[in-house]
A and B are shown apart, each in its own frame.
Chain A
Amino acid sequence: MGSNGVAIDDTEAQTLAEETDVISTLHESILGLILSFVPIIDAVSTSVLSRRWIEVWTSLSTLKFDDSLLFYGKKMQKEQFVNFAEKVLLHFTNSSIEIFSLCLTSHQYDASQVSEWISFILERRVQKLHIQYSDKLFLSSKSLFRCNSLIELTLQMRCTLSLPVSVRLTNLQKLNISGIKFASDSSTYSRDITLSFPHLKVFEARGCEWSTMQNISLQVPSLERFSIAIWNHHSNESCKYGTIKVYSQRLTDFSYEGDLEQDIVLCDSSSIHNASVVIVIDEDKKDRIEILGFHAHNLLRQIDEVERLKLLFYKVLRHAKDFFINLPIFGSLAYLQLNEVTGEALLQLLHNSPILNTLVLLNGVANLQKDVLASAMVPHCFLSSFKVFQFKGFNANEHDLCLVKFMLANAATLEKMMIYPAFGLRYSDIDIGKVKEQILSLPKCSSFCVVEFSDIASS
């Protein structure tokens, strides 16, 4: 309340005047430039610096609201935060916003109030929109799909968006969504739903539900990276999910994680270099394994020209023989990473990867039968290109040792074998030293092969 702290005395005034006016204006302009980098709370407080500065903050082009940020040393109460956000938006004068970010870490905000904020922002030609909230929100699909100024869109929140038959965002370059449920506008449309993003470079969708009856056609000619994670399809639902079709010509990175219930079709996968396929299938899907194996085949067939492949299975393997029966030939594959496979599956993969250079096993092999290996033909890559084998999670059991023996005995071009003991191994009563000796004394087909043991447990 005291006003005596405000007035500057004569000597101070003199000093200030000495800093020439030119320099002070230049310095002031710097403040304008850095204002977007300063937390919104501090930006607003510039309103009391001088007359000139009363309104400067209201035309900021960056607004970032984060309810976990400290307000004078303490986290804001929810009501305080809401009030603050409302006031900022009330005073806001800029007709276009470059960046708007809303991170809500607390729950149970008034959904309609937050939705109003977002609508406000969508009407201001926002370019980069980032919303993070783990509770439910309403978002006007219409406003969102009409916001053609969007360059980057990140939505990590639970809400339902209804898709019209055609969506087109011509400036969108990066899309990252999570937790969104997509439904179609009307179930009487029989055509595909088309999402057209001519400049989109990155598409990442994690844990979204694409529950439209129609197929979804993604027109993304500039797309470089496509990543999708879909799971939680319930096998007792009789409706068939629409296929997601991706039309891109420049795709280099493809990543899929899911239960294979929904088809992904890549309409031109020739440029994909790297692929990651993570298959997660619950035990209760046993009866559908054959069909899912067919879906897996369809997926892998589309990426059979990749150079690097990560292929991981969770929860499913015991029943998954079918997955490996009709493997495509991976004619360009140089690097392969697997988390767990049966001996048969591994052999099949090696046979189908004629120019494989590096193999990484994260968890060894389950169920490796000696006689399978004994009678196995030597894979082509063993005689030509296979140089590096990384065995992570090595357990020193019969299967693992059998595999190591097979590799050393047959891989004629192998240069390096790295064995990473599994974490539990050091606490077991297995004499690791003896195992190492045993391995090092095994017959080697490749005379220049080096076998190394890592002392650090693999992750």
Chain B
Amino acid sequence: MASSSSNLISLKTSDGTVFKVERALAKTMKTVQAIIEEADANIYMIPIHNVFSHHMDMIIDYYKLSVAGKSKEFSVEKLDNDELKDFLLAVHYLNMEDLFEVLTQAVADRLEKKSVGYVRKYFGIENDFTPEEYAAIRKKNDWAFKGDDIEPEEDEEKQEE
């Protein structure tokens, strides 16, 4: 037989937990699907790096909701910004289209009113501008900023509306 006779696929997360998931769920993970298809023999267990068991829990939650037609009820509100980013990375690694879109939108929503400094920190972007360079580019693109926006040092959540 070319494929496993059971309908469950075993996935091992980075922290060593083994999840037995339905084949249909594994199919939504393009990375996993590619591994299954490339294997000649039966795959016993597929390791998924960068994915932790708490990520798998949420992935399974999302899957159950979407199968029931309730994917809109899936919420990542309880995750803080860093946890959300890690989850997004995990889903990106697994190449799960729908959930990835949901999470990118969630991250985008969270970053909407954050300062430039916060965004830098969040994505680990090093500010390599000299003060003059920064002032110059800031002035050049002034039309995209509110007039007197001064670059804050710390993270600053703009409490708007």
Interface string of A16-42 (1 = CB under 8 A from B): 100100011011101101100111011
Residue of B nearest to A23 (CB): B124
B153→A5 contact, CB < 8 A:
yes
**B residues 147-161 in Cβ contact with A at 8 Å:** 148, 150-153, 160-161
Of the stretches B18-26, B54-62, B71-79, B138-146, the one at the interface is B138-146
Task: State the CA gap A38–B110 with chains docked (Å).
Answer: 10
Could you tell me the distance in whole angstroms from the C-beta of B93 to the nearest C-beta in chain A?
Answer: 9
B30 contacts partner chain A, Cβ-Cβ < 8 Å: no
A83 contacts partner chain B, Cβ-Cβ < 8 Å: yes
Task: State the CA gap A27–B137 with chains docked (Å).
Answer: 23
B40 contacts partner chain A, Cβ-Cβ < 8 Å: no
Contacting residue for B127 out of A2, A34, A49, A73, CB 8 A: A49
A72 contacts partner chain B, Cβ-Cβ < 8 Å: yes
Interface string of A42-70 (1 = CB under 8 A from B): 10111111111110000000000000001
Task: State the CA gap A37–B92 with chains docked (Å).
Answer: 15
A3→B134 contact, CB < 8 A:
yes
Chain A residues positioned under 8 Å from B132 (CB to CB):
3
Q: A3-B131, A30-B92, A51-B129 are in contact. Are A39 and B112 (CB under 8 A)?
A: yes
SS of A interface (majority)? helix
B88→A30 contact, CB < 8 A:
yes
Residue of A nearest to B138 (CB): A48
Chain A residues positioned under 8 Å from B148 (CB to CB):
1
Q: A24-B125, A51-B128 are in contact. Are A5 and B85 (CB under 8 A)?
A: no
Interface string of B74-114 (1 = CB under 8 A from A): 00000000000100110010000000000011011001100
Task: State the CA gap A355–B131 with chains docked (Å).
Answer: 80
B152→A49 contact, CB < 8 A:
no
B126 contacts partner chain A, Cβ-Cβ < 8 Å: yes
Contacting residue for B135 out of A3, A49, A51, CB 8 A: A3
B123 contacts partner chain A, Cβ-Cβ < 8 Å: yes
Residue of B nearest to A73 (CB): B160
A8 contacts partner chain B, Cβ-Cβ < 8 Å: yes
Interface string of B32-43 (1 = CB under 8 A from A): 000000000000
A120 contacts partner chain B, Cβ-Cβ < 8 Å: no
B48 contacts partner chain A, Cβ-Cβ < 8 Å: no
Interface size on A (CB < 8 Å)? 42
Could you tell me the distance in whole angstroms from the C-beta of B19 to the nearest C-beta in chain A?
Answer: 24
Chain B residues positioned under 8 Å from A24 (CB to CB):
123-126
Chain A residues positioned under 8 Å from B29 (CB to CB):
none
Could you tell me the distance in whole angstroms from the C-beta of B52 to the nearest C-beta in chain A?
Answer: 15
Could you tell me the distance in whole angstroms from the C-beta of A410 to the nearest C-beta in chain B?
Answer: 39
Most buried by B among A3, A28, A44: A3
Task: State the CA gap A33–B111 with chains docked (Å).
Answer: 14
Q: A27-B85, A28-B125, A47-B141 are in contact. Are A38 and B134 (CB under 8 A)?
A: no
B150→A2 contact, CB < 8 A:
yes
**A residues 249-269 in Cβ contact with B at 8 Å:** none
Could you tell me the distance in whole angstroms from the C-beta of B148 to the nearest C-beta in chain A?
Answer: 8
B119 contacts partner chain A, Cβ-Cβ < 8 Å: yes
Contacting residue for B131 out of A6, A38, A83, CB 8 A: A6
Task: State the CA gap A39–B144 with chains docked (Å).
Answer: 12
Chain A residues positioned under 8 Å from B107 (CB to CB):
30, 34, 37
Contacting residue for A44 out of B122, B144, B150, B160, CB 8 A: B144
Could you tell me the distance in whole angstroms from the C-beta of A56 to the nearest C-beta in chain B?
Answer: 11
B residues whose Cβ falls under 8 Å from a Cβ of A: 85, 88-89, 92, 104-105, 107-108, 111-112, 116-117, 119-120, 122-129, 131-135, 137-138, 141, 143-146, 148, 150-153, 160-161
Q: Would you give 22 A-B contacts (Cβ < 8 Å), ordered by A?
A: A1-B150, A3-B135, A7-B127, A8-B127, A24-B123, A24-B124, A24-B125, A27-B122, A31-B123, A37-B105, A37-B108, A39-B112, A44-B144, A47-B141, A47-B144, A48-B134, A48-B138, A50-B120, A51-B133, A52-B128, A72-B146, A84-B144
